[in-house]
Amino acid sequence: MSYSVKYQDIGVKGYKETWKYQEEIFDNLVRRKTGHQSQSSGAEKKDPGTLIFVEHPHVYTLGRNGSENNLLIDFIQLKARDAEFYRTNRGGDITYHGPGQIVGYPIFDLEIMKISLKDYIFGLEEAVILTLGYFGLKGSRINGATGVWIEDKIRTKVAKICAIGVRASRYVTMHGFAFNVNTDLDYFSYINPCGFTDKGVTSLEKELQVPQDLENVKMQLKEKLGSVFDLKWI
């Protein structure tokens, strides 16, 4: 049975503003699920999920178990680079968000979808891998490192193209993934991405050697997410 999801592309928004917005949706869904807020039409009604696509201005975010030591510049240097920094309540370590990157925030009820958190993260990775396949690239998973990676015989180390960090409560998810499309990769040089010092980062633009149509990539990614999770867009 398909899971109904509202799709929202909210354009370019600041991280703090977007975090507050997704928390409102998340909290509302949890309240309704736990009976602290009445259903609009009967007890059997299944509230829809929400998928938010957004681009953020330059910002570094740190997961709840991450280390600030993985931010390699101080706050004066951050300001000089027009970047912000936030500690978050998601999983994972430190990552960068910025222009030319698709950040996806799925606020889904995994209980309705009948999947585990592990299966959900696998599905996010699979949707990105399928999207990369559309563009003729081979994405992969690596043991012990969540996300999607590009590896080949030429490069000296694997490179992450999509980071994933989520939070779940009562089987409801928030936060999500960051897919590098036309991203300025220089900003990753100021952190140990996701806490790793032995792995690189890449983007769709870098791999294909030409800037990409961000709207086309969004539509491909949305389609693959719909297919992987059997979503019905409303």
Q: Could you list the active site residues?
A: 194
Distance CA(57)–CA(116), nearest Å, equals 32
Residue recorded with tokens 């867009």: 233
The three-class DSSP label of residue 98 is coil
With beta carbons less than 8 A apart as the criterion, state whether 187 and 232 touch: no
The three-class DSSP label of residue 186 is helix
Q: End-to-end distance of the chain based on CA atoms, in angstroms?
A: 15
Burial-class residue 96 by CB neighbours within 10 Å (0-12, 13-18, 19+): buried
Residue 45 vs residues 32, 34, 151, 234: alpha-carbon distances, Å: 10, 13, 45, 15
With beta carbons less than 8 A apart as the criterion, state whether 48 and 21 touch: no
Q: How many other C-beta atoms are found inside a 10 Å radius of the C-beta of residue 182?
A: 20
With beta carbons less than 8 A apart as the criterion, state whether 58 and 84 touch: yes
With beta carbons less than 8 A apart as the criterion, state whether 179 and 149 touch: no
